[in-house]
Amino acid sequence: MKKEPLCPQLHIWRQVYVVLERARDEACDPAMPLPPSVFNMQGWMLSDDRQKQKRWQETCAWAQEYGFLHLIPEFSEDEWYDGE
């Protein structure tokens, strides 16, 4: 049985974060918070799959709320993380 993807692979997620952060900066809205942070390598290793999935959902919700959801690309199968 195939697992459902939980979030992008860490290196892909970091790329998405950079794009979202840049869009936020270009919006020039000081009231807009930064997107939810990406795990560093240690945080990734210490986080369980549920925490990774929750943070990714928070990132997508942030992008939706501030009009940046279109900046999150479609990921190929190998760009998704589906758990340990």
Inside any domain, residue 83: no
Inside any domain, residue 21: yes
- Would the pLDDT of 1 be above 70? no
In this prediction, residue 64 carries a pLDDT of 98
Inside any domain, residue 28: yes
Inside any domain, residue 27: yes
pTM of the model: 0.92
Categorize the per-residue pLDDT at 4 as very low, low, confident or very high, splitting at 50, 70 and 90. confident
Inside any domain, residue 76: no
Inside any domain, residue 60: yes
Q: Which residue range forms the structural domain that includes residue 55?
A: 8-70
Inside any domain, residue 77: no
The DSSP code sequence of 8-73 is E-HHHHHHHHHHHHHHHHHHT-TTSPPPPPPP-HHHHHHS-HHHHHHHHHHHHHHHHHTT-GGGSP
The predicted-structure confidence for 35-74, as pLDDT tens digits, reads as follows 999 999 999 999 999 999 999 999 999 999 999 999 999 9
In this prediction, residue 84 carries a pLDDT of 72
Number of domains in the chain: 1
Inside any domain, residue 17: yes
What is the average pLDDT value for the chain, to the nearest integer?
94
